[in-house]
Amino acid sequence: MNPSFPPDLASLATRLQHQHAELTAQLRRRLASAQPLASLLLAGNASLDDPAVIRQLPRCDLTRLADELFALRSLDAACARLADGSYGRCLSCGEPIAPERLRVQPTAQNCLSCQTAHEQRLPTAGTRYQPS
C-alpha cells in the first residue's frame, strides 16, 4: 500500500544497528558506576529479576531500565532476523507481518493477530499462563 515499504533491508539494518549502538551507549553512561554489571546486563547475561543484580545497581529508575534492556534485546533479535533472512515473518505462524506494523514497530516479531492472541494469554495474576 505504501510505496516506500518494504524499505531497503540494508538501510533498515543500518538504522536498527544505529539505534542499538545509541541505546547501548546511553545505558553504559547510566550504569557507569556499576561496571562490570552493566556489561552483563547489556549482553543479556544478568537479569533485573535477580534481587542480587538489583542490589548492585546504582540508584536508577528500574522500570525505565527494564524497558530499555527489553528494547535492546528486541533490536538484537531484529538484527539477527535481518541477517538470517527471516525478518518480516511472524515467529508464531510464519506469515508475513503487515508492512504497516513493521513501519510503526520495526522490531515486531509477531503478526498482529498472533501478538493479540499472545497478549490475551499473558497472565494477569501469574497463574493463567498455559504453554501450548
Q: Summarize as ranges the residues that interact with Zn ion (CB under 5 A).
A: 90, 92-93, 111, 114
Q: Which is nearer to Zn ion, 60 or 93 (CB)?
A: 93
Q: How far is the CB of 9 from Zn ion (least distance, A)?
A: 20
List of long-range contacts for 2-10, beta carbons under 8 Å, 24+ apart: 2/99, 2/100, 2/103, 5/99, 5/100, 5/102, 5/103, 6/88, 6/99, 6/102, 9/82, 9/87
Q: Which is nearer to Zn ion, 12 or 111 (CB)?
A: 111
Q: How far is the CB of 87 from Zn ion (least distance, A)?
A: 14
Q: Which residues contact 95 (CB under 8 A, 6 or more apart)?
A: 89, 111
CA atoms within 13 A on the CB side of 83: 9
Q: Which is nearer to Zn ion, 80 or 93 (CB)?
A: 93
Q: Which is nearer to Zn ion, 41 or 97 (CB)?
A: 97
Alpha carbons 132 and 116: distance in angstroms, whole number: 16
Q: How far is the CB of 67 from Zn ion (least distance, A)?
A: 24
Q: How far is the CB of 96 from Zn ion (least distance, A)?
A: 9
